[in-house]
Structure 1
Amino acid sequence: MELNIFSVKFNQNNIKAYNQDSCPAFTGKNIKPAVKTVALGTTTALAYLGVNQTNKKENAFINKFLNERDDVKSAEMLLKKYPELYWLTNDVNATPEGKSSNNTDSISKFLFGKKHIEFDRTMAGIQCLKYVLNNDYESFTQCQNDEIKLTPDNFEELRNYTLSVLKTPEDVDAMLAYTVINDLGKIKNFVSDVEGQAGIKAKDHDEALLIGLKYMPKKIPSFNRLSQKYQKEILNALEADFNLGQFVFAECLEGNLTKFKNVTPESKQLYIVHLLYDVAGVAGHINPKGSLVMTNPVYNSYMQGIESINEQNSKSENEVYDSFLMKKANDFGLPMRTPKERAIVKLILMSRLTKQEDLINVKKAFDELDTDTKNNLIEGLSKDGIKNGGTLLYYAPAFIQNTYNAKLDNKTALLKKAFEVLALIYNDNESNASGIKTVSLANIANAIKNSPDLKTEQLYQIYKKEF
């Protein structure tokens, strides 16, 4: 089913970016009627949502949004309702994941005449939520390969899970607001403002968002207008400093689970649903037609991750973490009895690879490393941030994946190079103290994507320049 993405452009002069002195409202003066696009499903989600008659305005917006079949009008509605959405067209620290794409279906390119990666990703996540709420399986999976395509049963499970959390139009509105503000911490001006006002240096974009929501909520209108119930739920999840995506790809440490254990059930469920659609839209800058990422293998991994973290009340952080790793080891057909075997399972997850030949390449690349490099990797990947100090390599999966995709041949050598760099960085940050140190690999993830021939030492020196 073909989706005709936006067919008109906005006048760039009418678009204002984030501004510390104002929260601009989108006017949409220059939007013109566009061609109709594919229907979103025969039954909209509002039929399944409990309607609160005391908030007819909110009900009307959600109803209109879910029923809107014109992509331009749908985008216009979002930009007017959630002004932070087009702040993402400002100067941002874009996520270094994924290959560059010049696809003509870029939503931001049609809207603003220029491609904005984080805007496209956010819009794709919202569109995926809309597809699920409207029970539109075909549109959600239209860009997926048949080999790994999300099954109808898993789509139905995802939809039922979503509707169990988003029970009312107010819930949907809060989720849309949550999704829109999620990446504000990547906007350079926003980060500068919140750090200056709070006197706190954010370690990553999630912490920058948390600081902004706590210290300057009135500057973030979509959050500020939410009821205290939703504000508390969003803040409660952010304060836990836990990222389910990092957990599922073995990027985080056991110590990252500690505070998430105390998150309220309502906040935890809102966060999980938000994260699922953030993941669904993560490749929206590459292909905005459905979810390129939420395939069957990825969906199953997230469900296994959710199942594991739901065991927190009866298990320790280490037991929860290893419970998930064991599930994945069984999926891969690999043992996990020794620190070396455990490290290999974590490296496979970090590499985000699922095909059998790719898993073989990971194991082969590890086996070809010299003894010191192997030991550094095993030690670094064994630290939990609880009993001993550990290092969270932020964007390690993006770095490994970008390295692996940099060339078509000799995949084992590409993985070996990535693992050598990780071992050097782990060795740099070796510590006997407890706690977690976060270091970003965004620079080298971008570097290898743009210059595939960079050697191990060159990549390491690029990393060292930042730290």
Structure 2
Amino acid sequence: MNKTDIKDQEVTKNLSNFEFFFKADEKTLLRDLKLAFGPELDRLKNAYSIRDSPGSEPTILSPSNILYNKEYDEINRTLVGILTLRWIYNGEYDVLVAAQPEHIRLSKDSFTWLRGLVLDTIKGSDDLLTLITSMIINDLGKDPNLASDYHKATGLDISGDNHDAILYKAVQNGMVPSLDRLNPEQKADLLRGLELGAVFNYGQLAQAESPPASLKSLVRFSSYKKAVEMHFIEQVLDVASAAGHMDWTCAKKLVEPIILTYQITHNIVMEITNISQSEHSLHDRYDQVLVYRAQLLSRKGFTQLGVKDDNERAFLRLLCMGNASDLAHANLFQSTWRSLDEPIRNLLIRALNNDGSPEEPAVQPTYMPAFLTQVYKSSNGRIGGQHALNSALRYLARVMTLDKALTPNGTIILERSVLEVVKTTIQTHQFQDDPTILESIAVPEGQVALHIRDLSSVDL
């Protein structure tokens, strides 16, 4: 055995050792992570990210600066997720919430719930190493080189797939070396989590970005509770680190409204993957997310909305996608919704109430929450921002308009990603000066996200 193999074994042993992982000083841990996952972190240097409005960064060095003397957004995000796991396990509530706005700060009750879930799921060294590996590789699909390397290796072009599907296919092809240090059981659990992530995303459910038919893909995971729980924790930690490229001192995005929504999505997923549960339809389970948003805003003085009326239900999906959790935000969305031309609003009502089926495929507007958040921030929440939001909703209507004749037979969900529009249009001064520029922006090409051949028989 050469010195490199011996060093790798030592580092792997450290990272799967509870005493080391949760108690070592942060710089020592980060350096061991670099030693263990160097090729994966190198890929993250190329990954894309979305930044909020410029703000003051912490004065302490970021994780990527400690390791590479340079800022790499996705490396910072990924490693802040790892640090968040330590904060949760060690009960460091004050560290986790340090820079969170007070009115939406994660409550101690929610922190206790999350910590309990982590302690119940991560039982031993195998679980710990599996989770760390899953977190490190989670965003590798955002590196465009991974898809191009896959194409070189297989001759298949997967560049149009979402980044979760790209990662899953690359792992299946043996292109992510860190999985080689896992034992067969660990690797199987991680692969099941990746397979789940390729067809279902907790965040997309929490933000009502995906239609109800997306829940159908969960049914085949009913025998893999451990993998499902591990994937949920990994996804929550991903949310916790979502602002880690701008503030690496805390879990800035893991705020109370978000964790409460994730609790709901966790309950929904656990019900669906537990075949002994009561016979609620997937549609009704999905609506729990919308009902929570209605209750959240109602407590803050907003109009009480319900899911039985198509207009209100469509608007609730929009409020979820727009991350509207306060009164000013919701009021701007409502005034804009009411100002839409009736044909546009009716089109959105129909599209946002479409569950998705082979007879009537639904569109999933991927990255629409980031799109709408950036639009709202570009207007600084001003009433004048209604003009920008109006243009955004008109664009959303085009994105969600589907020509069945041009859609592959058997499609249940067609995914259209607006990420490039966010990066090349929404974040520019040109959009801020003239939001109607969206009228000249083409609708993204679609990719089949869910096909009838992917599913077991289950009633929606």
TM-score by length of 1: 0.82
Which residue does 1:415 correspond to in 2?
Answer: 389
Cα RMSD for the two superposed structures: 2.6
Is 2:55 the counterpart of 1:90? no
Q: Which of the residues 171, 184, 188 maps onto 1:213?
A: 171
Is 2:286 the counterpart of 1:326? no
Is 2:158 the counterpart of 1:201? yes
Q: Distance in 2 between matches of 1:196 and 1:438?
A: 25
Percent identity of paired positions between Structure 1 and Structure 2: 23
Is 2:318 the counterpart of 1:364? no
Which residue does 1:276 correspond to in 2?
Answer: 236
Q: Distance in 1 between matches of 2:136 and 2:362?
A: 32
Which residue does 1:177 correspond to in 2?
Answer: 133
Is 2:232 the counterpart of 1:262? no
Q: Which of the residues 259, 271, 275 maps onto 1:299?
A: 259
Which residue does 1:117 correspond to in 2?
Answer: 73
Which residue does 1:16 correspond to in 2?
Answer: none
Equivalent AA in structure 1 for residue 364 of structure 2: L
Cα distance, 1:429–1:251 mapped onto 2, change above 3 Å: farther
Equivalent AA in structure 2 for residue 450 of structure 1: T
Q: What secondary structure sits across from 1:147 in the alignment?
A: helix
Which residue does 1:442 correspond to in 2?
Answer: 419
Q: Distance in 2 between matches of 1:238 and 1:200?
A: 19
Q: Distance in 1 between matches of 2:442 and 2:228?
A: 34
Q: What secondary structure sits across from 2:427 in the alignment?
A: helix
Give the C-alpha shift of residue 120 in structure 1: 1.1
Give the C-alpha shift of residue 158 in structure 1: 0.7
Number of equivalent positions: 413
Q: Which of the residues 21, 24, 27 maps onto 1:72?
A: 27
Q: Which runs of structure 2 are paired with 1:34-433 in the superposition (5 Å)? A: 57=13, 61-69=17-25, 71-92=26-47, 94-96=48-50, 98-100=52-54, 103=57, 104-105=59-60, 106-198=62-154, 199-202=156-159, 203-216=161-174, 219-240=175-196, 241-263=199-221, 264-312=224-272, 313=275, 314-333=279-298, 334-336=304-306, 337-386=308-357, 387-408=359-380, 409=382, 410-427=384-401
Cα distance, 1:323–1:407 mapped onto 2, change above 3 Å: closer
CA contact (8 A) 2:142 2:163 kept: yes
Cα distance, 1:394–1:339 mapped onto 2, change above 3 Å: same
CA contact (8 A) 2:40 2:136 kept: yes
Q: What secondary structure sits across from 2:415 in the alignment?
A: strand
Give the C-alpha shift of residue 415 in structure 1: 2.2
Q: Distance in 2 between matches of 1:144 and 1:102?
A: 14
Give the C-alpha shift of residue 290 in structure 1: 0.9
Q: Distance in 2 between matches of 1:430 and 1:354?
A: 35
Task: Give unpaired runs (5+ residues) of structure 2.
Answer: 299-303, 447-460
Q: Distance in 2 between matches of 1:180 and 1:378?
A: 39
Q: Distance in 1 between matches of 2:404 and 2:267?
A: 32
Give the C-alpha shift of residue 56 in structure 1: 10
Equivalent AA in structure 2 for residue 442 of structure 1: L
CA contact (8 A) 1:83 1:222 kept: no
Give the C-alpha shift of residue 361 in structure 1: 1.3
Q: Distance in 2 between matches of 1:295 and 1:195?
A: 39
Q: Distance in 1 between matches of 2:444 and 2:109?
A: 48
Equivalent AA in structure 1 for residue 427 of structure 2: K
Give the C-alpha shift of residue 357 in structure 1: 1.7
Q: Distance in 2 between matches of 1:197 and 1:456?
A: 42
Give the C-alpha shift of residue 275 in structure 1: 0.6
Give the C-alpha shift of residue 185 in structure 1: 0.5
Equivalent AA in structure 1 for residue 126 of structure 2: E
Which residue does 1:43 correspond to in 2?
Answer: none
Q: Distance in 2 between matches of 1:95 and 1:89?
A: 10
Cα distance, 1:58–1:425 mapped onto 2, change above 3 Å: same
Q: Distance in 2 between matches of 1:197 and 1:269?
A: 33
Cα distance, 1:100–1:235 mapped onto 2, change above 3 Å: farther
Q: Which of the residues 453, 459, 464 maps onto 2:432?
A: 453
Which residue does 2:441 correspond to in 1?
Answer: 462
Q: Distance in 2 between matches of 1:156 and 1:352?
A: 24
Give the C-alpha shift of residue 109 in structure 1: 3.9
1:223-244 deviation digits (Å, cap 9, x = unpaired): 2221222222222233231000
Q: Distance in 1 between matches of 2:63 and 2:192?
A: 32
Q: Which runs of structure 2 are paired with 1:10-29 in the superposition (5 Å)? A: none
